[in-house]
């Protein structure tokens, strides 16, 4: 029923917007504000609850279903601050006009985004548009009221995610088990639901929650299309992936699978979406609720002390690279400034 009302609201916005022309804003943006003119206009320092969907329109899409990039129905409304210092000026100019219940459509040409130097997904092409639909659900005049609303949202989201996760895991498990059976693949199911196929047994140290591991990996969809890898040069990062098992920064399905491996093991993980990237996915490479396959190899297993030292060294190296990049940029700016014609007196 809630989704019905959301769709009804979106339909109302679309119908109303058909009679309005887009207004030009900054940074190549155009927008439409759909409002009944009732209530107070938002003020700087207020907080607002927003429902939104971001889509892509234009060349580069192979499936229209993939046009939705972000949808707050899947992860909850957001509460933002109306802050002239923290909000991008182009958006502040647009949102400074809204009232509770208003809707906004913002369209931005991909060309202008590329011109600003922002990275865009490979499927986005020049001439295409990012189109965002916003609904101002509520406006709060105090941080306490906004925090209270946020807390209620998080509790509701927690219950919803738990219920959805149970149902999705059951669905994913059947999909994966049917896939394995059809291909006569022997894989062991972990406690939480990752399936592990051992391709080559390891003979080294066992992976536990108190060690660090360094991995080779390739991530694929179930149709065999690779979306990330550190053994395939087309993805531009060939270094081993470190995973500290006491504080892993990888998806839960990986943690489950790694506990079954040893140094030297080559394996294949079949990971249900709820133990991967969940209902949000990582568009466009990973769709919402998509099951994934990872080919992995445990290259190194180290004790916690060594792993922490390696992590510290890697962080220092990254900082040095960033500093070197900043210095290079400053030199380039200085050189460009020297090349400018001097004003005549």
Q: Which residues are catalytic?
A: 217, 227-228, 251, 277, 294
How many Å apart are CA 324 and CA 316, to the nearest integer? 12
- Residue 1's alpha-carbon distances to 5, 76, 157, 300, in angstroms, are 6, 16, 17, 52
- The structure tokens listed for 20 are 């309005």
Find the DSSP H helices in the chain.
Answer: 2-17, 72-75, 89-95, 110-115, 143-182, 252-258, 304-338
In contact, 246 and 307? CB cutoff 8 Å:
no
How far is C-alpha 318 from the chain's CA centre?
Answer: 22
Q: How far apart are CA 303 and CA 326, in angstroms?
A: 35
Confirm if 23 and 104 have CB atoms less than 8 A apart.
no
Burial 133-142 (b: 16+ CB within 10 A, else e): bbbbbebbee
Asked if 77 and 115 count as a contact pair (C-beta separation under 8 A), the reply is no
**Distances from the Cα of 13 to the Cαs of 119, 138, 325, in angstroms?**
30, 17, 46
Other CB atoms within 10 A of residue 277 CB: 20
Sign of CA dihedral 216, 221, 224, 227: negative
Between CA 171 and CA 49 the distance in angstroms is 33
Specify the residue for token string 């509520």: 138
Element at 104 (helix H, strand E)? strand 103-109
């Amino acid at each position: 029923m809630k989704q019905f009302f959301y769709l009804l609201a979106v339909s109302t916005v679309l119908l109303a917007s058909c009679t309005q022309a887009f207004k030009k804003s900054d940074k190549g943006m155009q927008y439409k504000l759909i409002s009944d003119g009732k209530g107070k206009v938002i003020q700087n320092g207020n907080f607002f609850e927003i429902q939104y969907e971001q889509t892509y329109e234009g060349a580069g899409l192979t499936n229209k279903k993939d046009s939705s990039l972000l949808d707050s129905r899947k992860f909850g409304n957001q509460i933002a601050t109306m802050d002239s210092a923290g909000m991008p000026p182009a958006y502040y100019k647009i949102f400074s006009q809204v009232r509770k219940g208003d809707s906004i459509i913002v369209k931005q040409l991909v060309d202008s985004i590329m011109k600003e130097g922002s990275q865009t997904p490979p499927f986005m092409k020049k001439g295409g548009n990012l189109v965002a639909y916003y609904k101002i659900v509520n406006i709060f005049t105090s941080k306490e009221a906004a925090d209270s609303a946020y807390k209620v949202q998080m509790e509701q989201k927690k219950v919803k995610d738990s219920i959805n996760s149970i149902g999705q895991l059951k669905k994913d498990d059947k999909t994966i088990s049917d896939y394995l059976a059809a291909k006569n693949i022997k894989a062991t199911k972990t406690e939480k639901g990752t399936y592990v196929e051992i391709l080559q047994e390891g003979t080294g140290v066992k992976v536990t929650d108190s060690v660090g591991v360094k991995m080779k990996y390739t991530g694929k969809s179930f149709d065999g299309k690779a979306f990330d890898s550190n053994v395939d040069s087309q993805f531009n990062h060939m270094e081993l992936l470190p995973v500290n098992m006491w504080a892993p920064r990888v998806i839960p399905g990986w943690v489950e699978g790694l506990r079954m491996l040893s140094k030297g093991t080559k394996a294949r993980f079949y990971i249900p979406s709820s133990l991967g990237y969940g209902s949000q996915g990582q568009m466009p490479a990973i769709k919402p609720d998509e099951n994934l396959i990872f080919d992995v190899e445990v290259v190194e297993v180290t004790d916690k002390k060594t792993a922490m030292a390696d992590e510290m060294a890697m962080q220092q190296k990254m900082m040095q690279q960033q500093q070197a990049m900043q210095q290079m940029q400053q030199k380039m700016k200085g050189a460009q400034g020297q090349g400018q014609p001097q004003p005549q007196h």
